[in-house]
Amino acid sequence: MGAELVDLILSPDGWRTAPVEPRLAATLMYLDRLTREPESVTEAFIDEVIAAGATPSGLESASLVCLVFSVINRLVDAFGADLSPVEAQTLGAVLDKGGSAVARLRGRPKPWVRYGGTIPAPLTTCLQEVRQGKGDAPPPIRAAIEARVARQAGTIRPEPPALPEEVTDLVDTIAADAHGVTDAHIDRLKAAGWSEPAVYEFVFVASFAAGLGRLERAIRLLAAR
């Protein structure tokens, strides 16, 4: 795939007209919805993208990509990252080289093993740690953040208890648009007495829940297909 085509796919709405194979075009349509409006990913929409050329296992695999980037995008944006064009070029070249090396080390591609409606075990473990494990932030607060953001990401959770206002302000911003996190959010949390490691955990849990909520919704809808 040429650089111009990649640029077109990554430009705002460019993917809608990019000349790519139907399976990829349908998967981009799916990822657009799952990332921006997860609650609008329904059984009917899944059927639509499959009819347009996507495959259930390809959609599951793409949903994992959505989880990974939903988390990392929020973490770096919330903590104050930027990327110059020179850095982007350097990182891109190293990652290309590294990705190829990893692929060689890990051998031949394997068929995707379907989730069957169940989230992968490592994520279940992480979810349990978030809810009940040791940490710098209190587990009930972490559990409430996870439930609040996962619900916003379109998955099923019981109504969580109310959070302190300064925490709600941070996690709702991370869930909706992590660019919107400012120094004021962090200062407010610190002024309320939260330690830096606790604030880090708030950000991680909100980011994790945004990714997990999307993946859970996708896996549930794809299970019967």
Q: Give the residue with the Cβ less far from other proteins, 32 or 39.
A: 32
Q: What is the DSSP letter of 115?
A: -
Q: What is the DSSP letter of 111?
A: P
Q: Give the residue with the Cβ less far from other proteins, 44 or 105.
A: 105
Q: Answer for the pair 185, 174: CB distance below 8 angstroms, yes or no.
A: no
For 132-169, give one letter per residue: b (16+ CB within 10 A) or e: eeebebeeebbbbbbbbbbbbbbbebeebeebeebbeb
Q: Give the residue with the Cβ less far from other proteins, 75 or 159.
A: 75
At its nearest, how many Å lie between other proteins and the CB of residue 151? 19
Q: Answer for the pair 71, 207: CB distance below 8 angstroms, yes or no.
A: yes
At its nearest, how many Å lie between other proteins and the CB of residue 178? 8
How far apart are alpha carbons 135 and 121 in whole angstroms? 21
Q: Give the residue with the Cβ less far from other proteins, 41 or 62.
A: 62
Q: Give the residue with the Cβ less far from other proteins, 28 or 159.
A: 28
Tell me which residue of 55, 85, 78, 91 sits closest to 182, measured CA to CA: 78
Q: Give the residue with the Cβ less far from other proteins, 109 or 159.
A: 109
At its nearest, how many Å lie between other proteins and the CB of residue 220? 18
At its nearest, how many Å lie between other proteins and the CB of residue 4? 13
How far apart are alpha carbons 142 and 131 in whole angstroms? 6
At its nearest, how many Å lie between other proteins and the CB of residue 65? 5
How far apart are alpha carbons 94 and 47 in whole angstroms? 38
How far apart are alpha carbons 221 and 200 in whole angstroms? 32
How far apart are alpha carbons 191 and 25 in whole angstroms? 48
At its nearest, how many Å lie between other proteins and the CB of residue 210? 10
